Amino acid sequence: MNVIWHNGRFIPAEQSSILPADRGFLLGDGVFDTMAAQDGMPVDAPAHQARLIRHAAVLGISLPAMDDWHDIVCELLARNRSTTGAAIIRTTLTRGPGGRGLALPEKETSPTLLITAELFDPESYTPPATAIIAQTVRRNEGSPLSRIKSLNYGDNVLAQREAQEAGADIALMTNNAGYVCGAANGNLFIAENGRLYTPPLSDGVLDGIVRARIMTQHAVSEESLSPARLFKADALWVTNSLIGVRPVAAVDGRAFPVKMLSCA
């Protein structure tokens, strides 16, 4: 029986319910976080919690006091028998229930906070990936939502669907200026003449946890990356909290050397 944490309680997943008026369900009015766990312990928990608070603040949503968040996650893993091997922790925060329409509720609402845990096999995500540059959708670098893990992930879903239909693993996305800003499911790094480069946050880039760690461990320059420059790169990697660092072997059918990039 899968157990979740919902608004302060551990309950069986099948007993959970979201109110029909919840703005996260109706409008995508909320944020989420995906964190890895290993052998019952969350990875980079303080960084993930701090980012969730930052992203929620962009929408004006206050994360309920959770000084014991780390303990909650550990107990959730234990209750789901996920204390051996790799697991995924998903935290979803919405503004909570509200009236009809876009206007914020006149009275303060109680946010909805949901945490789930499940086992996963990281090995299935680690082989060198094939990618496409998505053509059906672009990332809007002018929107604050492009830089947070908003529940409005429709653009990413469309891009990833395009990749699947093309037989690729990953969709790389360009922004309105035409620069490659990352993958539908992670950040992007390239190697060029012995140096690492990654797009700046201002290009509509998510402030990834692994991205930040790599930038503290390696000499990395933040620069906008055109598709033409991308195709001349010596190597490419996509990063996120679940896969860590995944080399990209081909983009739009063009092959790249598969090289490793350390991230302790």
Q: Is the pLDDT of residue 171 over 80?
A: yes
pLDDT in tens, 118-168: 988 877 777 899 999 999 999 999 999 999 999 999 999 999 999 999 999
Looking at the fold, whether 136 and 230 belong to one and the same domain comes out as yes
Confidence (pLDDT) at 105: 80
Confidence (pLDDT) at 31: 97
**Chain centroid to CA 62: how far?**
20
* Amino acid at site 192: E
- Record the tokens describing residue 17, joined without a space: 């319910």
Question: At 21, which CATH number?
Answer: 3.30.470.10
Confidence (pLDDT) at 175: 98
Q: DSSP of 43-70, one letter per residue? A: SSHHHHHHHHHHHHHHTT-PPPP-TTHH
- Record the tokens describing residue 239, joined without a space: 């990063």
The mean pLDDT value of the chain amounts to 93
Residue 122 near residue 243 (C-beta atoms within 8 A): yes
Tell me what the mean pLDDT of segment 98-110 comes to. 81
**178 is in which domain, residue-wise?**
125-255
Confidence (pLDDT) at 1: 58
Confidence (pLDDT) at 44: 94
Q: State the sign of the Cα–Cα–Cα–Cα dihedral 199, 206, 54, 176.
A: positive
Looking at the fold, whether 40 and 162 belong to one and the same domain comes out as no
Looking at the fold, whether 145 and 224 belong to one and the same domain comes out as yes
**Residue 172's closest CA among 219, 205, 200?**
205
**Residue 62's closest CA among 23, 17, 113?**
113
Looking at the fold, whether 188 and 116 belong to one and the same domain comes out as no
Looking at the fold, whether 234 and 181 belong to one and the same domain comes out as yes
The span from the CA of 73 to the CA of 102, in Å, is 33
Question: At 214, which CATH number?
Answer: 3.20.10.10
